[in-house]
Structure formats: C-alpha cells, structure tokens
C-alpha cells in the first residue's frame, strides 16, 4: 500500500497513544440523527409493492419491489407433474436447512434437501466472528434478550427472541456434540464481546466459525439418510389449490431440466439477498444469495416483515479491489482494532451497533474525511495491528487465520498494516413472517434462517444469526414432525392467481424472479428443452435459447 505511505506512518506514530484512549461516545439522539442522515435504510428510496399479498402496504427498496412484482420464469402453460415424491422438501443447503434435515433424520420421514449450488455453498460457511449464547457466569438469557431487542430498535418479535435466547445453550450443546470445536480457555468457552453485547457472549472457532459449523453439519447430513439434490434451485412452490403448499418446481442446472417434487411439507431455508447488491453496495454474501425465498413465499401469499431494513456491515474490504466487499469480521473491533479517518482520528465507538458504525463510516467518507484508493474507491482505516498491542503478540495470527490468509495473498499483513474498509451489504434483516414453530402463514410451508424476518428487528447483533439458524432450523424440523399432513395435489394455482393479479397492474418490469444468480456472475436459468408452451409464448426466450449452453458456472469457492 505504498500509495498510502504518509497516512500509514501517521497511524503507526499515534498507535501507542491511542491504545489507552476511550472510544468516542454518542448519545441516542445524536445516533438517531446519524442514522437518518447517513444510513442507507434512510435514503427514502423505498416504494410500495403493487402486486401480491401486501400490495399497497409493503414498502421496500424498488430493487426488491421489482423482484416481488416480477413474473415467474415458468412458461404460461406448464403443468406440474411430479417426478419425485418425498415427505419433507428442504429448500436450501446452508445451516438452517441442514439443522432441520438433521432434526428430521430419525423421524421416519423421507427428507430431500434441494440446494442451488453444492451443499454448504452458503452464507453459513462464510460466517467468521461467532455465535452468541448466554453461557458466561455473569450472563443470562434475559440479558441476551435485552441486548437483542435494544439492538433491533425494539422492532423484534418478542416471542421469537425469547426462544432464541432460551434455546441458545441447547443449540451450543447440540453443535458441540456433533463435533464443533468452539474456542476454550481453562475456565470454559472463550467468550468475546460483540457490537451491542453488554457482556462478552460470542463463542467462536477462530475467525472461521461458519466453516467449522458447516463442516460438521455437512458431514452429519452426508452420513445420514437424507436425499441430497445439489444444483437444484427452486423456481416456484406448488400448492393444492386451497392454500396449502405441496411441493416445488426445481431447476436442475446440470441437466438444464425442470423437476417437480411432491412433498407433504416444504421448508424454505434459502438464506439472504446480498447478491442483489442493493443501492450499488458491494456484498459479503455467497453467490447464491439472491433473495429467492422472498419471491417464492410472496407468490404463495406469505407476509414479509421489515423488508425496508438491511444490514450494511461496517467493515467490508475496500483494498485490494479483488476482494472488495468481503468481510473483515466484527471480532477485529471487539479485540481492539480502531476505526480511523483520513486525518488519523477516531470517530465512533467501534463496538456500537452495526447500523451506527456503518452510518458513521459513510458520514466520514461523504464529508471528505475518507481515504481514496488509486482506483477511486473510498473507505476508512481499521487499525488491526492494535489487536496484538492490546491482546499480546501473536493474537492476530492465532485468532484470525482467515483474515491473515486473505490479505497476505495481496501482500498486506494485518498484524503490521491497517486495512481499508467501508460498509458492505451483509444481511437481510427482514423476511418471511414465521411463528414460534417456524411456520409461515401458508399451511405446509415452514421457513427458517436468514430468509425469515421479525427475530432481529431492524438491526441484527453479531452472532445472533448463527444462533437463529440452529434454533429455528431445529424448531422447524420438530414442528414438521408434529404437524405434517398427507400428500396433496400438486398445482400452480397460487402462481396463476398472482399472474392474473399482475395483468391488472400496468407498467410492471419485464424481469423474471427468482433471479437465482447475481447479474454480475453471467450465470442464468435456461432449459435444454422448453416444456409445452402456448403458441406465441416467449417466456423462455428471455431466459436463453433452448438447446443448452456452453457456459460453465464459476467455482463459488475460488474467490475465497
């Protein structure tokens, strides 16, 4: 980073003196003003969605609204004829989906997990910082509850939060029994603070917590009875014509064919939507995070909550460009790294809530105190070498092997050089409304994990999502066991109704949804052979030519 020589020297010169400096404080009214002026959620770019269950009521960014209003990629004439029967169809092979599949494995029900890419190609695998659970001696579920609700601006669904915090310890025990190695000290689990936690509460596996959790879940599922369909994306849910979900139409991306599945219960565990790159933000999310579950549930008539709120994680990488948007975990700040503007000054309490820290970074850059790279990207410094100064030499190498590996590839050593960071689109705070058993408003359809909304209010705390996917993934599995119904007819009645409603609204965009892949990836949905189409129907011509394509999907692991 020769281009930043003067600033790096200044940061180094003030490091010792900053070590004992207390963080800048801000009262709640100043924090509200900060959010209103600088947080991307407050830019007033939302509009009402015009078609669907909450038409005229649900407000969200126009990029999301267009997705919800979009037509299905299925042709106008398509009779779903099941070629596969299962008891439970789990859509999404990340943490929530696999936690549910494992919970179901001794129930006697046949479980099929269909996932867009490979099992484990998911945000879960990318999680770094850790998982919250009130297991410390001076902690309690009640305290965890209070932190979560304050962090979520009081908009969390209280009953969901209560279950989250009460079932945290059993979730950790379950993961440990499956083989997850959480960091320990001689006193028990090693606990780190996180933004908005009133006491250290975050368990971790160095800075690769999600990789470790996913390793264990994936192994357990691979050795269990569930049928796994990799490279199978849900493009539509099916229903019995009377409001109950009874299956799904999947797209097999290798055979380029549609597969209709009849299921007695369907679990949506499709994760988030960072790859929509809302408002032009870079993202920390994996390739498959295109908000598909929102679209699928919406067309079945499910309500969506808090969809006007997204989490822009404060510290996405800015330099080098090749890893722009990738995450620098919040643990770096919880272990002592400070944020500094181009003048070398601290400007926010680094362990304040994520939305405040993100807004403060955007403010610094907007008001001319940001750092500009040779390519014109902007950010602020995260002074990571302070971690070793504060916690002891070698801490960074020991606790953050993922970060060291990622940056050293580009000649940057976070233990001696600060990193340049800017907010990155990270987490979908809102999503499909669920009850305490992870049931949606549609019979036969459950949802768990990042695809759901309500639990985190409008701002999620670090470590609460990994906890969410285990607690509610397992709850979904248990609820399905108790409530599963007999097999029903498999129709596209909900889609037909949605299409009729679309015809009554003018000026809708021509895009199709679910999107399945980010537009930047060049990957797309196309069929080898189009199924029956009405004469003149051109639904598929927009998706690509029939007869296949020579395009090879990029390896989603190669960028990590």
Ligand X SMILES: Cc1cc2nc3c(=O)[nH]c(=O)nc-3n(C[C@H](O)[C@H](O)[C@H](O)COP(=O)(O)OP(=O)(O)OC[C@H]3O[C@@H](n4cnc5c(N)ncnc54)[C@H](O)[C@@H]3O)c2cc1C
Contact 402, 206 (CB under 8 A): yes
The distance of closest approach from Cβ of residue 261 to ligand X in the complex, given in angstroms and rounded to an integer, is 11
We find the least distance from the C-beta atom of residue 376 to ligand X, in angstroms, to be 25
In this structure, are residues 341 and 348 in contact, taking their beta carbons and an 8 Å threshold? no
Question: Quick check: 215 binds ligand X (CB under 6 A)?
Answer: no
Q: Is 96 in the site for ligand X (CB under 6 A)?
A: yes
Q: What count of Cα atoms within 13 Å lies in the side-chain half-sphere of residue 351?
A: 19
Q: Is 95 in the site for ligand X (CB under 6 A)?
A: yes
| 114 binding ligand X? (CB under 6 A) | yes
Q: Binding of ligand X at residue 429 (CB under 6 A)? A: no
> Quick one: 50 or 464, whose CB is closer to ligand X?
464
Kind plus residue range of the DSSP H or E element containing 252: strand 245-252
101 binds ligand X (CB under 6 A): no
Q: How far is the C-alpha of 153 from the C-alpha of 456, rounded, in Å?
A: 9
Q: Select the residue whose beta carbon is closest to ligand X and give its number.
A: 94
Pick the closest to residue 54 from 244, 311, 308 (CA basis).
308
Does 379 bind ligand X (CB under 6 A)? Our answer is: no
Q: From the CB of 18, what's the least distance to ligand X, in Å?
A: 26
Shortest separation between residue 290's beta carbon and ligand X, angstroms: 7
Neighbour-count burial of 428, counting CB atoms closer than 10 A to its CB (0-12 exposed, 13-18 middle, 19+ buried): buried
* Binding track, positions 530-549, relative to ligand X; x by CB under 6 A: --------------------
Instruction: Find the helix or strand (DSSP H, E) in which 338 lies.
Output: strand 338-340
130 belongs to the binding site for ligand X (CB under 6 A)? yes
**Nearer Cβ to ligand X, position 221 or 342?**
221
Binding mask 252-281 for ligand X (x = CB under 6 A): -----------------xxx----------
Strand partners, 17: none
Please measure the distance between the N-terminal and C-terminal CA atoms of the chain and give it in whole angstroms.
Answer: 21
Annotated catalytic residue 354: yes
Q: By C-alpha distance, which of 120, 102, 87 is closest to 230? A: 120
| Calpha distance 249→230 (Å, rounded) | 14
Q: Which residues of 365-404 are buried (b: 16+ CB within 10 A; e: fewer)?
A: beeeebbebeeebbbbbbbbbbbbbeeeeebbeebbebbb
Contact flag: residue 124 with ligand X (CB under 6 A): yes
Nearer to ligand X among residue 60 and residue 268 (C-beta): 268
Tokens of 293: 């579950």
Cβ proximity to ligand X: between 350 and 450 the closer is: 450
Please, what is the minimum distance in Å from the beta carbon of residue 91 to ligand X?
5
Instruction: Determine if 210 is a binding residue for ligand X (CB under 6 A).
Output: yes
- Which residues from 454-473 bind ligand X, rule CB under 6 A? 462-466, 469
Binder among 121, 350, 355, 526 for ligand X (CB under 6 A): 121
Judge residue 106's burial from the number of C-beta atoms within 10 Å of its C-beta, 0-12 exposed, 13-18 middle, 19 or more buried.
exposed
Distances in Å between the Cα of 325 and the Cα atoms of 281, 407, 412, 519 are: 8, 13, 16, 16
| Contact window for ligand X (CB under 6 A) among 5-13, 109-117, 154-162, 180-188 | 109-117
* Residue number with CB closer to ligand X (341 or 465): 465
Closer to ligand X by Cβ: residue 148 or 539: 148
3-state secondary structure of 376: coil
Contact flag: residue 285 with ligand X (CB under 6 A) = yes
423 part of the interface to ligand X, by CB under 6 A: no
Question: Which neighbouring-strand residues pair with 49?
Answer: none
Q: What is the C-alpha separation between 396 and 483, in angstroms, rounded?
A: 48
Helix ranges (H only) for 444-503 are 464-483, 493-503
Question: Of the candidates 88, 93, 91, which has an alpha carbon nearest to the alpha carbon of residue 110?
Answer: 88
Catalytic residue among 215, 277, 299, 354: 354
Q: Does 111 bind ligand X (CB under 6 A)?
A: no
Least distance to ligand X from the beta carbon of 346, Å?
A: 24
- 292 makes contact with ligand X (CB under 6 A): yes
- Smallest gap from Cβ 132 to ligand X, in A, equals 7
d(CA 229, CA 341): 48
Nearest approach, Cβ of residue 99 and ligand X (Å)? 8
For residue 165 the two structure tokens come to 């915090």
Q: Closest distance between ligand X and the C-beta of residue 407, in Å?
A: 15
* DSSP calls for 411-454: T--TTTS-EEEEEEEEEE--EEE--TTSB-SSBTEEE-STTEES
Q: Which of 402, 423, 449, 454 binds ligand X (CB under 6 A)?
A: 449
Judged by CB under 6 A, does residue 440 bind ligand X? no
Q: Based on CB atoms, which residue is closest to ligand X, 303 or 452? A: 452
- Out of 50, 112, 123, 262, the only residue in the binding site for ligand X (CB under 6 A) is 123
Which residues of the chain form contacts with ligand X (CB under 6 A)? Answer: 91-97, 114-117, 121-124, 126-131, 209-210, 233-234, 269-271, 284-285, 288-289, 292, 327, 427, 449-451, 462-466, 469, 514
For the annotated catalytic residues, the residue numbers are 354
């Amino acid at each position: 980073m020769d281009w930043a020589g003067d600033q790096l020297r200044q940061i180094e010169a003030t490091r010792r003196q900053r070590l004992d400096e207390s963080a800048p404080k801000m009262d709640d009214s100043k924090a509200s003003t900060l959010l209103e002026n600088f947080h991307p959620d407050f830019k007033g770019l939302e509009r009402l969605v015009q078609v669907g269950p909450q038409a005229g009521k649900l407000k969200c960014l126009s990029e999301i609204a267009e997705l919800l209003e979009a037509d299905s990629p299925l042709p106008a004439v398509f009779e779903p004829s099941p070629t596969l029967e299962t008891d439970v169809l789990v859509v999404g092979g990340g943490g929530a989906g696999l936690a549910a599949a494992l919970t179901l494995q001794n129930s006697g029900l046949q479980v099929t997990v269909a996932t867009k890419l490979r099992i484990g190609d998911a945000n879960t695998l990318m999680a770094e910082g850790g998982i919250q659970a009130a297991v410390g001696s001076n902690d309690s579920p009640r305290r965890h509850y209070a932190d979560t609700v304050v962090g979520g601006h009081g908009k969390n669904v209280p009953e969901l939060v209560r279950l989250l915090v009460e079932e945290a310890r059993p979730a950790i025990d379950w993961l440990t029994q499956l083989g997850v190695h959480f960091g320990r000290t001689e006193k028990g689990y090693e606990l780190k603070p996180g933004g908005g936690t009133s006491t250290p509460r975050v368990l971790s596996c160095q800075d690769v917590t999600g990789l470790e959790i996913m390793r264990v879940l994936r192994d357990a599922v691979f050795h269990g009875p569930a049928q796994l369909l990799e490279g199978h994306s849900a493009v539509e849910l099916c229903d019995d014509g009377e409001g109950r979900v009874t299956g799904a139409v999947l797209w097999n991306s290798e055979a380029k064919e549609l597969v209709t599945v009849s299921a007695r219960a369907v679990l949506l565990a499709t994760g988030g939507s960072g790859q929509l790159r809302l408002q032009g933000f870079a993202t920390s999310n994996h390739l498959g995070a295109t908000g598909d579950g929102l679209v699928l549930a919406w067309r079945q008539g499910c309500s969506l909550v808090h969809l006007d709120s997204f989490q822009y994680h404060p510290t996405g990488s800015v330099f080098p460009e090749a890893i722009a948007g990738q995450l620098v975990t919040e643990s770096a700040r919880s272990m002592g790294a400070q944020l500094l503007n181009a003048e070398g000054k601290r400007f926010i309490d680094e362990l304040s809530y994520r939305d405040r820290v993100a807004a403060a970074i955007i403010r610094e850059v907007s008001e001319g105190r940001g750092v500009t790279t040779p390519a014109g990207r902007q950010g602020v410094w995260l002074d990571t070498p302070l971690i070793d100064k504060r916690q002891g030499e070698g801490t960074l190498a020991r606790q953050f092997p993922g970060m060291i590996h990622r940056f050293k590839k580009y000649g940057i050593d976070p233990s001696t050089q600060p990193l340049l960071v800017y907010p990155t689109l990270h987490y979908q705070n809102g999503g499909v409304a669920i009850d305490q058993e992870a049931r949606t408003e549609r019979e036969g359809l459950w949802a768990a994990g990042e695809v759901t909304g309500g639990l985190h209010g409008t701002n999620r705390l670090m470590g609460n999502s990994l906890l969410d996917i285990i607690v509610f993934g397992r709850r979904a599995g248990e609820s399905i066991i108790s409530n599963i119904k007999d097999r029903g007819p498999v129709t596209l009645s909900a889609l037909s109704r949605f299409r009729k409603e679309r015809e009554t609204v003018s000026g809708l965009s021509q895009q199709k949804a679910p999107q399945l892949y980010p537009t930047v990836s060049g990957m797309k949905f196309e069929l080898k052979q189009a199924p029956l189409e009405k004469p003149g129907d051109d639904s598929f011509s927009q998706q690509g030519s029939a007869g296949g394509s020579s395009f090879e999907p990029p390896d989603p692991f190669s960028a990590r």
